[in-house]
Structure 1
Amino acid sequence: MSEPTFPHQPDLPPPPPPPVGSETWATHRPEPARRRPRGLLVGALVAALALVAGVVVAAVLGGRGSPAAARPLALSFTPGDRETYRFRFTMDGTLDAGELLGETPLDMDVTEVLTWEVTDVDEDGVATIRVTVEELSGTVNGVEAPTDPSQLPAFDMRIAPDGRVLEAGGLSFAGADVASGASFPGMGQMTPLLPDHPVAPGDRWTTSFSQDNPFGEGEISYEATSTFEREEELDGVRAAVIRTEMTAPMDLTISFDDLLAAMGADAADSPEAEGLRGVEIVYGGKGSITQRAWVDLQAERTLKVASSGTFDMTMTFHGLDALEGQEMGFRGDLTMELRVE
């Protein structure tokens, strides 16, 4: 480091001569006053301020310690694993049937206790999970819903290690089963969407995938952007908090022939089913969801998922005399929460 430079000092007049006969001046000549090295003092002050500023910035950005290292996030499944979740679904919607029936509100508030049992895991880590409704309560348009869970058959879901719901569970895909976590097609993505590479808090990633339609033609395509927000404790468990914004455009057809077959012989052979044979519903529109999920970092399981969103879709009926070609609109808001018991 070079020596500090100082401003040029003006020449001073010489000191006056000592008094005649004075020996003090000759033997005890005073030293000139020592100047303070202002350059060094200013430099030290700047360095100190920079050090303090660095400490403050590190505290604000890094919290109590150094930034967390990147780590993989995934869901892990083993055949025989069982989890019990409490699930709540609310919807505030409006069904617009045009001049035929006008507008009809459709409000739901349903709570269920669900058991998830892993029945199979393939070589890619994709799990087949049997979902059974153990308890059920709620209202539809202010009227109490049936509370006998045996009326809702168990269904299967296929979930990948990165959280993608590849199959939304048979009847749940069609919105025919409240226990699905969906009241209409596409709203069954109940698990967090995780990255395919290590991430640290603050990192973002995108996910695109489709769910096949098991009851007709078409598919539902998901587009999502997720952020690893932070790590925190949830009920004493260290968890990653993931926020996801997703859309689910719909362009598919549900066949009631296929749907009735999936509901079993009793449903397919019932008198009510006769009037639905050959009926199809064509769905269009999309749903938009904001999801926040908590993932157990050690056990690699879903601890909690809280979602809210909006939907705006159309349904066109074919094969039903009273509604042939009739298009109905369906729009509103929804919330979903899934939490391990």
Structure 2
Amino acid sequence: MAIDFVRSLRGHPVRPPASGIARRTSFWQRMHVDPWLLGMLLVLMCSGLAVLYSASGENVHVVTAQAIRFGVAWAVMLVLAQFSPATLMRWALPAYLAGLVMLVAVEILGDVGMGAQRWLVIPGVVRFQPSEMMKIAMPMMVAAWLSRHELPPNWRALAGCALLIALPVGLIARQPDLGTSLLVAAAAVFVILLAGLSWRFIGVMVALAGAALPLLWMNMHNYQRQRVLTFLDPESDPLGAGWNIIQSTTAIGSGGVWGKGWLEGTQSQLEFLPERHTDFIVAVLGEEFGLVGMLAFLLLYLLIVARGLWLAGAAQDTFGRLLGGGIMLTFFIYVFVNIGMVSGILPVVGVPLPLVSYGGTSSVTLMAGFGILMAVNAHRRLLPR
């Protein structure tokens, strides 16, 4: 087999196996997708639509719009799954530069909503957040950069990574969108960690990050500082800044073990719970399906992450392993941060629950990441064994 592979690279014809039986590919292999991961994503999305129907006050229009967005997200995933890691690596720099250009455009021409300038609007076509694009472009760029250097990376390679991270993260933080800026930075940091940093170096970086916290606090906006103070003591302003956390924890606690039943949640149906169809949809899940329902969702998320990490770990090139692993660890952080902020163990940073909360740009970005992961896996399968 190895000799035949070398002959094919040199342009020589390859003889069929002596048995005369060619290896047959399955439908999933021809589509370049992983059926197990695909099935779990489908279950998550369908369950999410059911929760969204209740969280939106039984609004069919909202659920239909979300289903259409899911359809677009699936199409993006299937398209990206057809490309090889080598092609994706060539796209890393153009995607990164395009993201930077759009972030600069947001700074100059961006649409303002809820006190933040985060969106670009193409009249009559679409309104989207360019910062979402950087959640994919950033790990792609860092993975491409590191895969061209010897691993584990030296100080020069890490300095290049720091520059690549600082530019988009700084622009996103100016919008202001601290939550997304931290998630974009985390996506890059995960890729760097997977490149094989020593524990000593990681310890130094953690110490430096801790020392920089006072500087971060001084540069935060007043509302961001208020979120941190509210996290520490929600009861200090129960009718103001602490309202969201108090209502969400009340909803989750009132669900008990088995929940109140689908469409029967009082906190959500009586509209005590704010942003219940977006950032705080976990509270609706906890109230109506209880601890059992939340654990079922957590198990599904963990299975998706585990399968994704397995596919990334089986990649046969450095770029694929770094990018796939970074994407899956970032997906896990989205879940952890959203559930943490809704349950009161993390400050509120405006991170939606992946593939459950209402939102189009976020869903497309997440499924694009899964498409890249499946492309990495398909390339592994197509190589000779």
Q: Same fold (TM over 0.5)?
A: no
TM-score (norm 2): 0.23
Higher helix share: 2
Q: Which has the larger radius of gyration?
A: 1
Q: Greater relative contact order: 1 or 2 (C-alpha under 8 angstroms, separation 6 or more)?
A: 2
Bigger fraction of residues in strand:
1
